[in-house]
Amino acid sequence: MQRWPLILTMLFGLSSLEACGPSSFYYNCHGAEEIDATTRSAVTSESLEFTKAAFAGDTLQAFGHLTEEAKKVATAEQLGNILQNIKTSGPYDELSVERVMTVTGRGHMQQESSVADCAKDASLTESNVRVAISNVPEQAYALVSAKGSQERWVATLWLIPKGGKWQIQSFQITIGRAAGKPVGEIVALARQENSRGHTLNTGILYAAAASLAARAPFYHTGLEDAIQKETQQASAPEEFRGNPPFNLKGSTGSFALVRLNSIAINGKLYLVLAQEVPPWKDSKEIEQKNRALIKLFAERFPEYSSVFAGLVTEATEHAGTNGWRTVLDNSAISGH
């Protein structure tokens, strides 16, 4: 099965579900409506304060919200590098707490952490989750969204009370939408394209959906399982099976594609074609090569335009650092 590339996320902190061991720790999961008002208010306040600092790139403020265990994982300088990358997609506003839940329990863990299955039924939905837990009487999880310059982003937080104050044990910040579309719409598009036999679009859309649905290594949803299952049942086009680079040949030349993925530009989805090329003499030469790839790809896979507003070709030198990007919308491609 072809593994389609995913979108970059930012992770900081401790533990994942895969690293968790067995335990005799007895726990209960509590939704927002089941949490006492004082706890819910404290968790919400801490979540908003940390997320606001993180999105603003305020390293010292954000670092001060971390537990001592989290501070041992990475330095303030390393956290600062992460937050500066996130800040470039801002400014951020409209912060909103999307979900708060807690896990309470008692008992013994053979390792530092274990897993709490908080699914209320067998449905593979975003509300049914499994979370990593530490051997403490109470811990919380929160999802905080914010509007960036192009997309909405989501901070997934794991909180533990220390000295009477909630602190951040781990967090991950990811893109929450693709061209303004939530994960549910992307999954629906993937299913639609699959039913039409558009295998290329299907794979790219499921990859985008998987990236949007993935909250954090310590917070796994049933929706992720559903997307993974459907992705495994889909097949990639013959040209893109196996491992990259993929060799695409045609009347305009031969091209070594190393990655295909989607990207949002001005509120629309574009399909990215990343190719490796020999060193080029000047911008005219590489622009022509990028456009030749776009022409061949559009001729070979015309169905791409039923989902994507255009094509983006990213050329990178073999074993080099030089890059060149060409962006064409569908109207320009059809008249190319």
* Ordered structural domains, the chain, with CATH: 10-175 (3.10.450.590), 183-238 (no CATH), 244-334 (no CATH)
- Which residues contact residue 142 at a Cβ distance below 8 angstroms, ignoring those fewer than 6 apart? 43, 44, 47, 97, 99, 100, 101, 156, 157, 159
pLDDT at 23: 57
Phi, psi (deg, nearest 5) at residue 31: -75, 170
Rounded CA-CA distance 335/331 in Å is 6
What are the pLDDT digits (tens) for 249-308?
998 889 999 999 999 999 999 999 999 999 999 999 999 999 999 999 999 999 999 999
* Cα–Cα distances in angstroms (integers) from residue 242 to residues 1, 11, 73, 229, in the given order: 8, 28, 36, 19
- Put residue 63 in one of left, alpha, beta given phi > 0 → left and psi -120 to 50 → alpha: alpha
Residue 11 has pLDDT above 90, yes or no: no
Paired tokens of 35: 């949490």
pLDDT tens digits along 165-199: 999 999 999 999 999 999 999 999 999 999 999 99
CB 103 within 8 A of CB 27: yes
- Which residue, 56, 36, 41, 20, is CA-closest to 170? 20
Whether the predicted pLDDT of 104 surpasses 80? yes
For residues 12 and 256, the model is more confident at 256
Distance CA 276, CA 158 (A): 40
pLDDT band with cut points at 50, 70 and 90 for residue 119:
confident
Q: Are 302 and 238 in contact (CB under 8 A)?
A: no
Measured CA to CA, the distance from residue 265 to residue 312 in angstroms comes to 10
Closest CA to 142 of 76, 218, 209, 60: 218
- For residue 237, with 0-12 CB atoms within 10 Å meaning exposed, 13-18 middle and 19 or more buried, which class applies? middle
The answer to whether 169 and 14 are in contact (CB under 8 A) is yes
Reported as type and span, the H/E element at residue 46 is helix 37-56
Residue 233: partners with Cβ closer than 8 Å, 6 or more residues away: none
Residue 320, pLDDT above cutoff 80 = no
